[in-house]
Structure 1
Amino acid sequence: MLLLEFFLTPQYEIPSNCGSKVLRLAVCAVGIYLYTFPLEMDEPIHVAITRLSASSLAGGGLLTLHQLLQARASTLARTPNELKKSISSLSFEECSLGVCHLLALLWDCKGEGTDNFAFDATVNFLERCHQSQIQQCPAEFVAVVKSAVRFAVHADEQSATSESTGLPVQESFSLRLVGPLLESTEKFRPEPQNITSADSAFLQLCLSRRFYDKARCVLDRDAFKVTQLLCQSLEDCAAYYTAAGDIWIALEEYERAFNALDMALSLPSIPGETDSLQVEAFKRFALLSLMLRGRVTRPPPPSPNAEETLRMATYHKDFAQYELVFHQRNLASGARASPNDAASQNSLFSFLSDRLQNLERQVQLHAAQLKEDKTIHLALALLT
């Protein structure tokens, strides 16, 4: 305010040699004042969002709005009822950035009534959101998408349990979400080749609910560009490629599945972030590698310590079970196993046998640590 008074008060003289710089400062000061003053005077948040969104359509304001909402996030998060009222009063198309911020905050508020409102509002938002605005708030958009997917999958699982017990069944949340989520995921990408965290969430929904054909819209493109801005973490990237591999397997597109899983295994192996997903990816990759190439073409993810030894013990047991299911599925049509199928199966069991022998040696090597962790009995049980 003092800076503004300096420029608007006549008695202050401006030196002629700094006129252009002072003019630029004056314009900035006026802009900041006009954008921030109403919020400082407790302007209702939905009114501020509407005003700043309207100004952004004329070429400015989105960045200011984004920063203001981030600054007020902790205050807004304490008032879920006010968040609901604000969301309900906004245009989801014209105020997409503001709605996205408010939805991200609302999803963090716990409560069944809040979650159902947030889901309904999210579906509406995803149907109407403006492309240029959601690209300005990537972290908030991804948070909204992930929350909606988690809610839909969990709610449908609960609904399936209700059906088995004879209770009334609700409409599938996942079916309501999948269409709008696909449309907004495509809007969120700056270019078709971008891989985003929203893509990962969409594939997780498709994989969980077996919407394999719908997943083709995301997978059947030349996607290769991963950017830190749009893919929030390496875990999201690993999840994208692992889910892609599983979906291509379900669609019996084995070469594409092989390539997707190979990409998942090509990412850095980071404990607690990508390593568990890569172990799952390697289960499928090894089998596909044997089927398509006759050998396992790359080593498993690194497992340098006792915890990884136990993890690999679990992995080998699961892998053997997965192979049996996979092989039976291929023969479900009643076709006879070809000599190549038999050779692949023999190669697989030979591979497993060698790996299990090596694993047994690793368990013995780390026996002291496993005993100290009280997990030696689990490791030995998994080896039998």
Structure 2
Amino acid sequence: MNQNINSVESVVAQIQGLSSSADDVTHLHGLLKQSEELLQSESTRLAPFLAELDPSKHSLGYLYILEACTTAPKAKEQANELVLSIARFLNDCAAEQIHLAPDKFVSVCKRFKDQVMLLETPLRGVAPLLTAIRKLQSSSSEHLTSLHPDFLLLCLLAKCYKTGLCVLEHDIFEVDQPTDFFLYCYYGGMICIGQKRYRKALELLHNVVTAPMSTINAIAVEAYKKYILISLIHLGQFSTSLPKYASSVAQRNFKNFSQPYIELVTCYGNGKISELEAYVQANREKFEIDHNLGLVKQVVLSMYKQNIQRLTQTYLTLSLQDIANTVQLNSPKEAEMHVLQMIQNGEIYATINQKDGMVRFLEDPEQYKTCEMIEQIDSSIQRIMTLSKRLTALDEHMSCDSQYLAKAGRERQRFDFDDFDTTPQKFNI
């Protein structure tokens, strides 16, 4: 076969002739690499050639031409046609072929995301990007790709929170780029907040706040602000001291960039609704600029819940009027609505006597002996065992890593000898 590639037509011919077997595709990959400069120079006239290729059979060649075709900026009227072409490709392409050029595949997907945002139709990008993630991950759902943050961003903009949760349910153990991890956890935390899955949101935001960082970044600062608010909403408390394993950069700088939120924590800790509401009103503009005013209002509402929960630790029965007076609610009816909502959410266990307006607080009815609870406990145990095996394997890998051992040896002199375990003799540091 003639392999003198000096025109787009000859490139297309090679793609059509070398896409039937794995060996042919590997050979084609080398030819396509040699043709990149040609394709880039002809980028403005490549679109019609895509019609001559089948994205399911000629995936690698289609990808190269599509990537070159999308290099130049597109007007809004051209974006719709481009979105359709890329969506079709993402749905039909063969994973084993696009794995030969993952960088180009990611590049096309990111341009696809840009185009649907240009069209202000983020919903159109959700399903194709989810498909792209699955194909890029191949056999492992534990791999965080560069497409995860873009997918979650589109889910947020399109309010497809449940679709976003489907990737957040998987544990992540492999990360391509640190920035991807920051954005993945931040957008994921916002999706969980939208679904009121505060425990998972705290986990993701905690990952951002405590992740290694050499310099402060805007993503981490915004995550820290939301981390404070969700902690108050879900836990009713927040410690301004970060864990020891958080970076020194984070420990030094977060408070400086989040002063209104730190003061909100202090005000919340005083337990006085009137003071908290006055503080929120005085700093309303600051919270609005951060797009956090809605969460701040939920913080205020959570104080009512926290005060009601404290009553359950002291009293067995209490009237709605007494609850309203103690918690600083306007009326017994308002107190009843708060109590009913908390019962429905499983935050307290109580019954309300409608005749005399008395609330009876109960013990947690969970006996931990149902089939569902046993399955849940077993699932948690299995997950912990899997994580333990991974940590053991990672520890063994690090103990044999020459770069890590060399760095640990250089830094040893900066600390007391007792801060480190004795180094195995077989390692020459």
TM-score range, shorter chain: 0.5 to 0.7
How far apart, in 2, do the equivalents of 1:295 and 1:42 lie? 61
The answer to whether the aligner puts 1:246 opposite 2:195 as a matched pair is no
Tell me which residue corresponds to 2:136: 188
Q: 2:126 aligns with which of 178, 181, 201?
A: 178
User: Which stretches in structure 1 are left out of the alignment for 5+ residues?
Assistant: 1-33, 157-172, 343-384
How far apart, in 2, do the equivalents of 1:269 and 1:321 lie? 22
Deviations 1:164-198 (A, max 9, x none): xxxxxxxxx33332222212221221312111112
Going from structure 1 to structure 2, the CA distance change for 1:242 and 1:89 (only over 3 Å counts) comes to same
1:326-337 superposed matches below 5 A: 326-329=295-298, 337=305
The answer to whether the aligner puts 1:79 opposite 2:42 as a matched pair is yes
The answer to whether the aligner puts 1:339 opposite 2:307 as a matched pair is yes
CA contact (8 A) 2:236 2:303 kept: no
- CA shift, 1:116, in A, is 3.2
User: Which stretches in structure 2 are left out of the alignment for 5+ residues?
Assistant: 263-285, 311-429
Higher relative contact order (CA 8 A, sep 6+): 1
How far apart, in 1, do the equivalents of 2:142 and 2:218 lie? 26
Going from structure 1 to structure 2, the CA distance change for 1:293 and 1:140 (only over 3 Å counts) comes to farther
Tell me which residue corresponds to 1:89: 52
Q: 2:167 aligns with which of 218, 226, 234?
A: 218
Q: 1:264 aligns with which of 208, 223, 226?
A: 208
Tell me which residue corresponds to 1:115: 79
Residue 69 of structure 2 aligns to which amino acid in structure 1?
L
Cα root mean square deviation, aligned: 3.5
Question: 1:282 aligns to what SS in structure 2?
Answer: helix
1:360-371 superposed matches below 5 A: none
Tell me which residue corresponds to 2:226: 284
Q: 2:238 aligns with which of 295, 305, 319?
A: 295
TM-score (norm. length: structure 2): 0.57
Tell me which residue corresponds to 1:147: 111
Going from structure 1 to structure 2, the CA distance change for 1:268 and 1:180 (only over 3 Å counts) comes to same
Question: 1:77 aligns to what SS in structure 2?
Answer: helix
The answer to whether the aligner puts 1:105 opposite 2:68 as a matched pair is yes
Deviations 1:97-153 (A, max 9, x none): 222222222222123255333211101111111111222221111111111112212
How far apart, in 2, do the equivalents of 1:330 and 1:62 lie? 57
How far apart, in 1, do the equivalents of 2:112 and 2:261 lie? 30
How far apart, in 2, do the equivalents of 1:340 and 1:52 lie? 71
Going from structure 1 to structure 2, the CA distance change for 1:301 and 1:88 (only over 3 Å counts) comes to farther
TM-score (norm. length: structure 1): 0.63
How far apart, in 1, do the equivalents of 2:145 and 2:164 lie? 14
- CA shift, 1:70, in A, is 3.2
The answer to whether the aligner puts 1:325 opposite 2:268 as a matched pair is no
Equivalences, count: 280
More helix by share: 1
**How high is the sequence identity, in percent, across the aligned residues?**
23
